[in-house]
Amino acid sequence: MSADTVDRATSRVSPDDAKPMSAAYRRYAMSVLLLIAIMNYLDRNVIHILAEPIKNDLGLADWQLGLLSGLAFGLLYTFLGLPIARLAERKNRPVIIACATGIWSVFTVMCGFVQNFAQLALARVGVGVGEAGCTPPAHSLIMDYVEPEKRSSALAFYGLGPPIGGLLGMAFGGLVADAYGWRTAFWVAGAPGLAFALLAAVTLAEPRKTISAGIEKIKDNTPSLVATVRLLASKESYRFMAAAQVLKVFIQLGYLPFLASFYFRNHADQLATSASAVGEKFGYDLGPIGLLGISLGILSGLGSALGVLAGGALADRFGPSDPRCYVYIPAIAAIAGIPVFVGAMLASSVGLSLALIAVHAFIASIWYGPAFAAAYSISPGNMRATNSAILLFLSNLFGLGLAPLAVGIISDVLGASMGVGEGLRWALIILAMAGFLTAFLFWRSARTLREDIES
């Protein structure tokens, strides 16, 4: 099937052809999708602040922590994304999202009952199975809910899920773990998702249901996975931006699981002193885990949220006049973030280090809205869920599956001679250097982006 045929088919399945959707309902639907995205990333990332107590309780090595955050979670998450996306091209997307939310919430709760590494790894696999069904259908819905000129900002709004979910996972996970233990933290993180699953199933609209004519023909014209991959692979700009996104995710998912461990190993005394000072001032023994969880959650979470919004606003401001800005913006941000992150790793003061992490979180999150808007602008409407799943498949295969494990192995190797704190510090600095290649790949994709969008 040619791109023209696909465009003609998908042009008849759009929000404009459906029964009018009020602005109030659009805001509500976007809010529900954001809440689900927050739970997605909260349940995914709460293990990061719990890594050290889990390590000590179950007697794990760094490579096992990396496996729990990466390959154990990402294996089925990565490979199920594509078939679920294909299902989302034809079936009820809110129902798919609701089922996925329920599954990952149940397995997050189960993480609190495990007794050994193997059981925790299997529970994390279950979390990944559920979360595979969230983002591709959600991105596809957003592209149908929102006008073309506002899609970067809408995707960026949905992209607030990772930083806010990370913030809540770090802050509440740390507080609950300090007060009641790491197992309770998993229970508290997982339970609310069951309510959001019901909310999605009952209240989110499927725009395809309101199309008045032509729906069966358009279903028949939905391109195959092979046709979709062939079309996207034929676009030079897509190949470079996909590689850039893969590397960007590799970097981000490589350092996130170890950030809390970095501070516990290199700034433990300062954290303990600060926690005691905060406890004396407010009359509450926060504890080092609680203090670090709140600090990382608020600083990096708010920084990331502002970065996502800024990236979406910049893309909507400059992208319509020159689509190359969709990839120029993340290219510049990729370079700018490197010295800030290295400074955070080398700072002797925990306060300065955390402040730099907040700045880095802002810069490192700018890419989300522009990059996805650029990728989706290349593909027709009935390829968008599959397009999203392809990007997530590639990103998670290398980023989620391999990055934490690679950092853990490098940390263990360096730590054997440098000590566990220094080994982890330099493993994270080495990872940050990949940002130079990320910037080049984004910049290079701009060469043919305008032609690929128009073709």
According to DSSP, residue 14 is labeled: S
Residue 229 confidence (pLDDT): 84
Read off the DSSP letter of residue 116. Answer: S
Residues 175, 399: Cα–Cα separation, whole Å: 28
Quote the pLDDT of residue 164.
85
Tens of pLDDT, residue by residue over 420-436, are 999 999 999 999 999 99
The 10 Å CB-count burial string (b at 16+, else e) for 14-48 is ebebbeeeeeeebeebbebbbbbbbbbbbbbbbbb
Range list of H helices, 12-92: 23-49, 51-58, 62-69, 71-88
Extract the tokens encoding 379.
């593909």
Q: What are phi and psi of 323, to 5 degrees?
A: -60, -20
Percent with pLDDT over 90 in the chain = 32
pLDDT value, residue 442: 95
CA distance 87 to 67: 29
User: Cα-atom radius of gyration of the chain, to the nearest Å?
Assistant: 22
pLDDT for position 70: 66
Residue 280 binned pLDDT confidence (cut-offs 50, 70, 90): confident
Cβ-based neighbour number of residue 5 at 10 Å: 12
Which fold, 3-454?
A: Growth Hormone; Chain: A; (1.20.1250)
Identify the residue whose tokens are 């009820």. 92
Cα 218 from Cα 50, distance rounded (Å): 48
pLDDT at 215: 45
251 or 221: which leads in pLDDT: 251
Nearest to 252 by CA among 54, 407, 423: 407
Report yes or no: 134 and 385 within 8 Å, Cβ to Cβ: no
- CA 86 – CA 384 distance, rounded (Å): 10
Torsion angle (degrees, nearest 10) of CA 242, 245, 251, 256: -130
- Domain boundaries along the sequence of the chain: 3-454
Q: Half-sphere exposure (CA, 13 Å, Cβ side) for 207?
A: 27
- Give the pLDDT band of residue 20 (cuts 50, 70, 90): low
The CA distance from 197 to 39, in Å, is: 10
Average pLDDT over residues 338-362: 95
In whole angstroms, give the CA distance from residue 383 to residue 232.
Answer: 10
Largest Cα–Cα distance in the chain? Answer: 69
**Which whole-number Å values give the CA distances from 151 to 36, 102, 159, 317, 360, in the listed order?**
19, 27, 12, 12, 25
Does the pLDDT of residue 370 top 70, yes or no?
Answer: yes
**Average pLDDT in the 325-341 region?**
95
Going by C-alpha positions, the residue among 141, 146, 139 that lies closest to residue 316 is: 146
Give the residue-averaged pLDDT of 188-214: 80
As a whole-number percent, the residues of the chain with pLDDT over 70 amount to 87
**pLDDT (tens digit, 9 = 90+) per residue, 385-430?**
678 778 877 887 777 667 888 898 999 999 999 999 999 999 999 9
Average pLDDT, the chain: 83
The DSSP 8-state label assigned to residue 223 in this structure reads: P
Measured CA to CA, the distance from residue 429 to residue 163 in angstroms comes to 22
Cα-based torsion angle of the residue sequence 225, 231, 234, 239 in order, rounded to the nearest 10 degrees: -60
Nearest alpha-carbon partner for 326 in 230, 437, 453, 433:
453
Which residues 6+ apart lie within 8 Å of 330 measured at CB?
244, 248, 311, 366, 367, 370, 371, 442
Residue 275: CA atoms inside 13 Å, Cβ hemisphere, count? 21
DSSP state of 396: I
pLDDT of residue 398: 78
Q: Whole-angstrom Cα distance, residue 44 to residue 72?
A: 12
- Per-residue confidence (pLDDT) for residue 381, from 0 to 100: 64
CA distance 307 to 364: 7
pLDDT, tens digit, 9 for 90 and up, residues 233-260 = 889 999 999 999 999 989 988 888 888 8
Report the range out of 20-29, 216-225, 256-265 with the highest average pLDDT.
Answer: 256-265
Of residues 453 and 364, more confidence is placed in: 364
- Residues 152-164, mean pLDDT to the nearest whole number: 82
